[in-house]
């Protein structure tokens, strides 16, 4: 198998048509260079140069080798350059999961900022509930998760978290419901005890699901769940249709929704914390991942 060094020496001779000038260009003695060309010819079983007392021209085989050797050298140099860029996070790909309700307004800015600073990195985005993201992180099917805390039980030892948003849950109430219009009266969690609830399945976000049930227990009741839905848009849509009430992140509520009134909660069981975190598997130190995290922190610092 010919080496890159042999290719480089052969190309120098092919370019100068002189062992002496090629040796000077390569900063080496002429005899080892001549020996290299003879060794290549012996290994390939062909003559590479037409020569008498000096080199006259490349043979047909030599012409083919010059073209392929140059292509190989160029590819090797490209591989080195790309590897170095990947090592600094300039190129590569990132698999990122997110909970839409958590970063509904933030995500477009994050993507735009990151693509401007790291145009060589391809982002593979997937909207998914927190529990699915954690499972994907642990199975190395995802590099970064943007999830709602707390993490599922048992995941903490293997996952690194960095909280980026600290907020609260608010009540989503059908616009025609009496509680939606009693704005002069503070709304307690206990006031929702007799209502039907729209809630996400526990398996999709066990940590937050447990937080909500604990808050309701502190307010003296267990919510009567009449509908389940995974996506926050669907949950709020069901509330707008009058099927029940729900608790949603205040970040989500800021954008508003026709047919729904969002109200803060007071009293026992409230406020109910809603925290969003960047999560990744321990040991995943991809430079591109670090660059994305820094972009998130920079964007948040400007808000």
Task: Report d(CA 251, CA 167) in Å as an integer.
Answer: 8
List, for residues 269-279, the tens digit of each pLDDT value.
Answer: 999 999 999 99
**According to the model, what pLDDT value does residue 88 have?**
65
List, for residues 157-216, the tens digit of each pLDDT value.
Answer: 899 999 999 999 999 999 999 999 888 889 999 999 999 999 999 999 999 999 999 999
Q: For the residues 145-167, what does the mean pLDDT come to?
A: 90
Say how many CA atoms lie within 13 Å of 286 toward its Cβ.
20
Is residue 87 over pLDDT 80?
A: no
Instruction: State pTM to two decimals.
Output: 0.69
What long-range pairs does 133-141 form, CB within 8 A, spacing at least 24?
A: 133/97, 133/98, 133/99, 133/279, 134/159, 134/279, 136/95, 136/97, 137/97, 137/279, 137/280, 137/281, 138/281, 140/281, 140/284, 141/95
Q: Quick one: angle between helices 287-301 and 60-87, nearest 10? A: 40
Residue 13 near residue 49, CB atoms below 8 Å: yes
Q: List the chain domain ranges.
A: 4-87, 91-165+276-301, 166-272
**According to the model, what pLDDT value does residue 298 have?**
92
Per DSSP, 273 falls in state E
List, for residues 3-12, the tens digit of each pLDDT value.
Answer: 999 999 999 9
Between 203 and 54, the higher pLDDT residue: 203
Q: Average model confidence (pLDDT) for the chain?
A: 90
Residue indicated by tokens 């130190």: 285
Superfamily of domain 166-272: Periplasmic binding protein-like II (3.40.190.10)
Is residue 153 over pLDDT 90?
A: no
Range ranked top by mean pLDDT from 92-96, 150-154, 219-223, 292-296: 219-223
Q: Give me the CATH topology for the region 4-87.
A: Arc Repressor Mutant, subunit A (1.10.10)
**According to the model, what pLDDT value does residue 89 have?**
63
**According to the model, what pLDDT value does residue 84 have?**
74
**According to the model, what pLDDT value does residue 289 have?**
93
Residue 160 near residue 285, CB atoms below 8 Å: no
Domains 91-165+276-301 and 166-272 fall in the same CATH topology? yes
Is residue 81 over pLDDT 80?
A: no
List, for residues 88-114, the tens digit of each pLDDT value.
Answer: 666 678 999 999 877 777 888 899 999
Is residue 83 over pLDDT 80?
A: no
**According to the model, what pLDDT value does residue 292 have?**
93
**According to the model, what pLDDT value does residue 85 have?**
66
**According to the model, what pLDDT value does residue 256 have?**
83
Which top CATH class is 91-165+276-301?
alpha beta
Q: Quick one: angle between helices 19-26 and 4-16, nearest 10? A: 130
């Amino acid at each position: 198998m010919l080496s890159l060094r042999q290719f480089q020496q052969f190309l120098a001779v092919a370019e100068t048509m002189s062992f002496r000038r090629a040796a000077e260009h390569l900063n080496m003695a002429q005899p080892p260079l001549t020996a290299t060309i003879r060794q290549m010819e012996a290994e390939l079983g062909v003559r590479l140069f037409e020569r008498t007392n000096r080199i006259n021209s490349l043979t047909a085989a030599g012409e083919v080798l010059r073209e392929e050797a140059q292509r190989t050298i160029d590819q090797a140099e490209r591989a080195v350059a790309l590897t170095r860029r990947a090592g600094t996070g300039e190129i590569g790909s990132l698999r990122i999961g997110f909970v839409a309700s958590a970063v509904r307004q933030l995500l477009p800015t994050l993507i735009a900022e990151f693509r401007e600073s790291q145009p060589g990195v391809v982002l593979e985005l997937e909207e998914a509930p927190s529990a699915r993201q954690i499972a994907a992180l642990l199975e190395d099917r995802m590099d970064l998760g943007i999830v709602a805390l707390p993490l599922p039980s048992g995941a903490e030892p293997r996952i690194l978290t960095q909280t980026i948003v600290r907020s609260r849950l608010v009540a989503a109430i059908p616009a025609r419901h009496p509680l939606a219009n009693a704005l002069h009266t503070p709304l307690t969690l206990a006031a929702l005890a007799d209502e039907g609830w729209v809630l996400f399945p526990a398996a999709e976000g066990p940590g937050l699901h447990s937080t909500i049930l604990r808050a309701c227990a502190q307010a003296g009741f267990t919510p009567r769940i009449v509908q389940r839905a995974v996506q926050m848009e669907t949950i709020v849509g069901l509330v707008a249709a009058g099927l029940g009430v729900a608790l949603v992140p205040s970040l989500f509520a800021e954008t508003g929704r026709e047919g729904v009134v969002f109200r803060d909660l007071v009293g026992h069981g409230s406020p109910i914390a809603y925290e969003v975190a960047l999560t990744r598997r321990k040991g995943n130190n991809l430079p591109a991942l670090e660059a994305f995290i820094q972009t998130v922190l920079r964007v948040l610092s400007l808000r």
